[in-house]
Amino acid sequence: MDRKQLFTEVEEVLQTYCEGCLIKATFRKEYGKAYAHKFCITKCTVGERLKKYGEQLSNA
């Protein structure tokens, strides 16, 4: 997969799952932006998928 295709997939995932995410909004309101961001990166399955895309982009 080339870089352009990876960026397109990342954008699709963000628009489909992350925009309007109630969990992220709730955590952000209750615990702050840093906590919500950390949750998304470490515990959310979508965040794990985005992390894999990032690894592929680093290697591409």
**Ranges of each domain in the chain:** 3-59
Show the tokens assigned to 21. Answer: 């995410």
Quote the pLDDT of residue 23: 96
C-alpha pair distances (Å), 48 with each of 15, 30, 32, 43, 54 = 16, 23, 21, 7, 10
Quote the pLDDT of residue 59: 86
Distance, in Å, from the CA atom of 4 to the CA atom of 24, rounded to the nearest integer, reads: 27
Radius of gyration of the chain (CA): 13
- pTM, full prediction: 0.78
Quote the pLDDT of residue 1: 76
- Per-position pLDDT tens, the chain of length 60: 789 999 999 999 999 999 999 999 999 999 999 999 999 999 999 999 999 999 999 986
